[in-house]
Copies of this chain bind each other. A is one copy, B any other.
Amino acid sequence: MSKIDKNAPVGVFDSGVGGLTVAREIMRQIPEERIVYFGDTARLPYGSKSKDTVVRYSRQIIRFLRTRDVKAIVIACNTASSYALETVAGETDIPVIGVIEAGAKTAVQATRNGRIGVIGTEGTIGSGIYTEVMRRMRPDIEVFGKACPLFVPLVEEGLLHDSVTDEIASRYLSVLKGKYIDTLVLGCTHYPLLRSTLGRLMGEGVTLVNPAYETALELKALLRERGISRDPEAGRNLPEAPDGSLDEERYQFYVSDLAEKFTDFARSILPNEVKETRKIDIENY
């Protein structure tokens, strides 16, 4: 590991824009680190696809990120973390982390009554991975999963505050309300955008857990542990573009389709100006 360049970027990937919520937390908590982000917009969504397919896609993306000389990889997608993390981490000589461990840890720390709900895609919930990881941390915990396949299309349609989204959310959550959970993991990177609706429906007694925050902390600790953190001063020496945009060296964005649409979305949720998004043909990797 000693050969890894500390100034190399961290690779972050997702099926699309959702993982930007994780990239945003990394930018906030370790601003000196460089990021190469990839969103697989040509093949999204991952949530309704098979394990085999999601593993194959993740391998291609990791091969692409390696061409950008990343020093570590964050799988900022719950479905890919559920299905592919274990496999791809074993095939790669740089550290790879997902979002599941971080989300599970926060939830286990937050619960008072030991009853935790998890919402996510069909892939994430069907894999049972949140239950497995949380039970490993605390065997007496009770975990209740619920797949919410319509949330991603509703978010992508912009229906964040809408009677239809309320109705669908109320149906999905009713089964969890009946389980008296006191903690709910938002197990898909799109779901934090529905936080106000979900919070209102679950009521004040339920803590909502967004794994993005804890994932950024885990990355920070991991880089430090391996001795590959970037010098906090390093980032400050980079030239700042006159228009206040992020210097291109620090944050790079790649997608497999619809680069402009991605740039627009990224601009709406990231704290700094996003210069450009480059489109690549991921099937060639």
Residue ranges of A at the interface with B (Cβ–Cβ < 8 Å): 41-43, 48-50, 52-53, 56, 149-150, 153-154, 156-157, 163-164, 167-168, 256-258, 281, 283
**Complex interface: chain B residues within 8 A of A42 (CB):** 43, 49, 53
Within the complex, which residue of B52, B56, B167, B258 is in contact with A164, where a contact is CB–CB below 8 Å?
B167
Distance of A201 from chain B, by nearest CB (Å): 15
- The answer to whether B154 touches A257, judged by C-beta atoms less than 8 angstroms apart, is no
**Complex interface: chain B residues within 8 A of A149 (CB):** 153, 156-157
Report 6 cross-chain contacts, Cβ distance below 8 Å, ordered by A residue.
Answer: A43-B43, A52-B257, A149-B156, A163-B167, A164-B164, A283-B283
Select from chain B the residue with minimum beta-carbon distance to A151: B153
Most chain-B Cβ atoms within 10 A of its Cβ — which of A48, A256, A281? Answer: A48
**Complex interface: chain B residues within 8 A of A156 (CB):** 48, 149
Within the complex, which residue of B41, B157, B163 is in contact with A150, where a contact is CB–CB below 8 Å?
B157
**Complex interface: chain B residues within 8 A of A283 (CB):** 283
Main secondary structure of the interface of A (DSSP, over half): loop
- The answer to whether A49 touches B163, judged by C-beta atoms less than 8 angstroms apart, is no
State how many copies of this chain the complex holds: 2
With A163-B167, A164-B168 given, is the CB distance from A257 to B157 under 8 Å? no
- The answer to whether A257 touches B167, judged by C-beta atoms less than 8 angstroms apart, is no
Complexed CA–CA distance, A41 and B283 (Å): 16
Within the complex, which residue of B41, B50, B256 is in contact with A257, where a contact is CB–CB below 8 Å?
B50
- The answer to whether B167 touches A258, judged by C-beta atoms less than 8 angstroms apart, is no
Complexed CA–CA distance, A152 and B167 (Å): 18
- The answer to whether B257 touches A49, judged by C-beta atoms less than 8 angstroms apart, is yes
Distance of A64 from chain B, by nearest CB (Å): 14
The 5 A-B pairs with the shortest beta carbon distances in the complex, nearest first, are A153-B153, A53-B257, A42-B53, A283-B283, A43-B43
**Complex interface: chain B residues within 8 A of A49 (CB):** 41-42, 257-258
Distance of A217 from chain B, by nearest CB (Å): 34
A sample of 4 more A-B contacts (CB under 8 A), given A56-B281, A150-B154, is: A49-B257, A50-B258, A52-B257, A167-B167
Complexed CA–CA distance, A52 and B42 (Å): 10
Most chain-B Cβ atoms within 10 A of its Cβ — which of A153, A164, A167, A256? Answer: A153
Most chain-B Cβ atoms within 10 A of its Cβ — which of A42, A149, A163, A258? Answer: A42
Complexed CA–CA distance, A256 and B256 (Å): 18
Complexed CA–CA distance, A256 and B54 (Å): 12
**Complex interface: chain B residues within 8 A of A168 (CB):** 164
Distance of A171 from chain B, by nearest CB (Å): 8
Select from chain B the residue with minimum beta-carbon distance to A153: B153
Complexed CA–CA distance, A156 and B150 (Å): 10
